[in-house]
Structure 1
């Protein structure tokens, strides 16, 4: 909302006899100084690594909440397409995709055939009224990324998704997934601390907010080189139901 013009505001409240011009000028100058300070504060608050001020970025994460690369150290092959995968760890249909083609997608990412970027969303914790289940699961992925085990954690989390939708996740669940991902020793201690503290909660929000700005309204959403595979398409259905469908869909989308 635009700020009312200072001179108009003063004129509207001016006493009948009126203060001196010097006093009016001083008040206007004071208002302008306050406006500048507020503007600087708002600008700095929005200058962050995401849509949330001061959001720490995990290993493999991108500034602005633009997702987490599955294998940030892997050298990409020439013309490797970018695959953006929007998920909520509580989403059962996301788990269908994981079971049917998750392994093949990871293999392609690990070999450098594709650049796989995960965008974690959290809207299901509001829909299911079990907050902060999606948030702590997403935070767990980012904590695992610091240990170099993002892909392993991603797999473990979906494998441990509760059979009953809406049950949600606990901190104990997340720590268990960390162990199952192969995080050990000092790295596990650090991972558990990251989970307990919710180190990447701000980045979780930043990523979820950015997904909304990207126009994503549901999960899983799959984009290849920015082009979305529509959930009404046969390709989308095959990715959820047919093992080995990924190679065909990828080839089709990158012709």
Structure 2
């Protein structure tokens, strides 16, 4: 095969040209970095009512339903909304960080009650292979004790500072979940319920019920987090959605 390369030797670039190209490359790199940072920030939500914390009104109770739903609110709450979450869902953690404290205040004030529905479709993305189910069992144990502030603190912690990484190599053991429950103020029998995994089988069945309910409300899709005011799904990018559903 003949060599078709031209008999042309390019002249070396001058120092000035080299510096100019280097400066241009630096500008491009900086521009890309700025775009990347901005795009990353678009995924963040501002924290509402920062500093309020979890529910702390002793009049707020947690009620574990036969179907695994957990109702958090005062008995005289004006309205109930429904929240669907998976304990391993990063977007659920983002929403909890952004709106959890604002929701807690509305619950304390009696303007809202929250009915939590937990799904476990991310089990396979956990290190243990069943973290979502075990975490659901844990929140059921804590909710069954009846204290709204304790359940709220436990739920908030699981979805924020203690949430394992989706797709990670490890997650929380039952003992670690129980330790968080104890630190949240759960009584000894609830802590033992978490350690023993007493509600794991029930949690599996209840997660299926929650998943089916979510499909009905969400055009056949299981996507978390999903928040509904009746049959109306709320837009988490609308920073005022909590105030709007609470009517204030």
Q: TM-score, normalised to structure 2's length?
A: 0.63
User: Which residue does the alignment assign to 1:14?
Assistant: none
Asked if 1:247 corresponds to 2:245, the answer is no
User: Which residue does the alignment assign to 1:64?
Assistant: 67
5 Å-filtered alignment, 1:175-254, equals: 175-183=178-186, 187-188=187-188, 190-214=189-213, 215=215, 217-229=222-234, 235-238=235-238, 242=239, 245-250=240-245
Q: What do you get for the CA RMSD once the two structures are aligned?
A: 2.4
The residue matched to 2:64 in structure 1 has which SS?
coil
Q: Distance in 1 between matches of 2:88 and 2:223?
A: 12
The residue matched to 1:123 in structure 2 has which SS?
coil
In structure 2, do the counterparts of structure 1 residues 82 and 248 end up closer, same or farther at CA, with 3 Å as the change threshold? same
Give the deviation of 1:163 after TM superposition: 5.0
**Runs of 4+ in structure 1 displaced over 6 angstroms?**
none
Give the deviation of 1:173 after TM superposition: 2.1
The residue matched to 1:236 in structure 2 has which SS?
coil
Number of aligned positions between the proteins? 176
Q: Is the 8 A contact 1:105 1:246 kept in 2?
A: no
Unpaired runs of at least 5, structure 2: 1-61, 216-220
Q: Distance in 2 between matches of 1:164 and 1:211?
A: 20
Larger RCO: Structure 1 or Structure 2 (Cα < 8 Å, ≥ 6 residues apart)? Answer: 1
Q: For each residue in 1:202-245, what CA deviation from the matched residue of structure 2 results, as whole angstroms up to 9, or x when unmatched? A: 3312321112221150111111123222xxxxx3224xxx5xx3
Q: Distance in 1 between matches of 2:101 and 2:206?
A: 24
Q: Distance in 1 between matches of 2:244 and 2:162?
A: 27
Match of 2:173 among 151, 170, 173: 170
Q: Distance in 1 between matches of 2:244 and 2:201?
A: 34
More helix by share: 1
Deviates most, 172-181 or 162-171: 162-171
User: Which residue does the alignment assign to 1:37?
Assistant: none
Q: Distance in 2 between matches of 1:202 and 1:81?
A: 31
Q: Is the 8 A contact 2:86 2:119 kept in 1?
A: yes
Give the deviation of 1:130 after TM superposition: 3.3
Q: Distance in 2 between matches of 1:175 and 1:128?
A: 18
Give the deviation of 1:170 after TM superposition: 1.4
Q: TM-score, normalised to structure 1's length?
A: 0.62
User: Which residue does the alignment assign to 2:114?
Assistant: 116
The residue matched to 1:199 in structure 2 has which SS?
coil
